[in-house]
């Protein structure tokens, strides 16, 4: 038997003011778009903003539904929009933020498992990693250089061969 270990690295910034200017701008866009989220059940509003390699900006928000399984996360809403509006165009950077009526928004938020799978597939499809900027409305900011780092041992098309 052999034991293996999986580790990821990410950058931790104390707040948005430490980010490079372009990343701070994108995070502010994600924070702003949370106002468009539809979250009447959880009162947890998530916004995502992405800069594509062609310079275009695409946003997404969580969209809840009374039948919980049919809701959509902000990340998947954004990725579906980017795919429809700009087919085959890679995403350079995506920022994700949130605000909640139930408490503070002072720590980074990470994509759920389903979104991690979707992000990984998108990276593979366009052949370019997506840098993620993860934060609340205040406090620390995490930067992950490749979205698929969040899904070690992930299921891919290679798994089906």
Residue 156 has what pLDDT? 85
* Length of the chain in terms of residues written: 161
Q: Which residue has the tokens 């038997």?
A: 1
The token duo for 65 is 């539904």
Domains and CATH numbers, the chain: 22-153 (3.40.140.10)
Q: Give the tens place of pLDDT for each residue, 68-79.
A: 889 999 999 999
Tokens read off for 31: 């924070």
Identify the DSSP state of 147: G
Strand ranges of the sheet holding 91-100, from the earlier edge strand across to the other edge: 11-13, 141-144, 131-135, 91-100, 44-52, 57-61
Q: Which residues are catalytic?
A: 75
pLDDT, residue 161, reads: 85
Give the pLDDT confidence of 12-40 residue by residue, as tens digits. 999 999 999 999 999 999 999 999 999 99
Global model pTM greater than 0.85: yes
Number of helices followed by number of strands (H, E) in the chain? 3, 6
Cα distances (Å, whole numbers) of residue 21 to 47, 71, 76, 91? 19, 33, 26, 18
Token pair belonging to 151? 């899904």
Walk along the chain (161 residues) and give the pLDDT tens digit of each residue.
999 999 999 999 999 999 999 999 999 999 999 999 999 999 999 999 999 999 999 999 999 999 988 999 999 999 999 999 999 999 999 999 999 999 999 999 999 999 999 999 999 999 999 999 999 999 999 999 999 999 998 888 888 88
């Amino acid at each position: 038997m052999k034991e293996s270990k999986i580790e990821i690295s990410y950058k931790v910034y104390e707040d948005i003011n430490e980010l490079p200017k372009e990343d701070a701008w994108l995070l502010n866009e994600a924070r702003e778009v949370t106002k468009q989220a539809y979250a009447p059940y959880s009162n947890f509003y998530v916004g995502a903003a992405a800069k594509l390699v062609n310079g275009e900006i695409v946003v997404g928000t969580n969209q809840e539904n009374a039948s919980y399984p049919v809701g959509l996360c902000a990340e998947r809403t954004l990725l579906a929009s980017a795919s429809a509006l700009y087919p085959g165009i890679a995403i350079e950077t995506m920022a994700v933020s949130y605000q909640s009526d139930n408490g503070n928004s002072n720590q980074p938020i990470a994509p759920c498992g389903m979104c991690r799978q979707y992000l990984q597939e998108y990276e593979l499809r366009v052949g370019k990693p997506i840098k993620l900027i993860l934060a609340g409305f205040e406090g620390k900011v995490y930067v992950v250089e490749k979205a698929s780092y969040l899904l070690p041992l992930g299921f891919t098309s290679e798994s089906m061969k």
